[in-house]
Amino acid sequence: MDLCWRVFLKFEAPDYAPEGVEAFRAYLSDIEQVNHLTPFGAWEGRSFWVSWRRREPHRPVFVDPAFHRQGIGRLLFQAYLAEGGWGRVTVHSSPTQWRSTASWAFPTAEEQLSPDGIRYTPMVWEQT
């Protein structure tokens, strides 16, 4: 979860209200919540990875900042799709990553603000 926190602090937290930063920190600190995530990824010295909830097709994606803008998130997502057999996958893209996420062929909606201050854009991938 350290990678998730580092990526969030570097790219997202500067544009978040304090309650949104605290809500994300609380999410990562919730052991019960984290235990429902299954890591999936690739490594090259440093890790870059994607994680997902086992029981629902919603994917948080985090890539080590040293490897951003190299197509790794897209490759991991494609590998996940090849293994998962999902017909529909939703992603809540962060404000700084929505353009990259949209390039994965997700239709986009307007940015949302959750009651606890988390900013995201809902996106959907559907198998054709």
Reported pTM: 0.77
pLDDT at 21: 96
The residue ranking higher by pLDDT, 116 or 92, is 116
pLDDT > 70? residue 3: yes
Cα-Cα-Cα-Cα dihedral sign, residues 8, 98, 123, 64: negative
Of the candidate ranges 26-30, 59-63, 69-73, 124-128, the one whose mean pLDDT is the lowest: 59-63
pLDDT digits (tens, 9 = 90+) for 85-115: 777 788 888 888 877 777 776 767 788 899 9
In the chain the domains, ranked by start, together with CATH numbers, are: 2-126 (3.40.630.30)
Bridge partners of 44, per DSSP, are: 46
In three state form, how does the secondary structure of the chain look? CHHHHHHHHHHHHHHCCHHHHHHHHHHHHCHHHHCCEEEEEEEECEEEEEEEECCCCECCEECCHHHCCCCHHHHHHHHHHHHHCCCEEEEEECCCCHHHHHCCCCCECCCEECCCCCEEEEEEEECC
pLDDT at 8: 92
Q: pLDDT band at 12, cuts 50/70/90?
A: very high
pLDDT digits (tens, 9 = 90+) for 36-51: 777 777 777 766 666 5
pLDDT at 35: 80
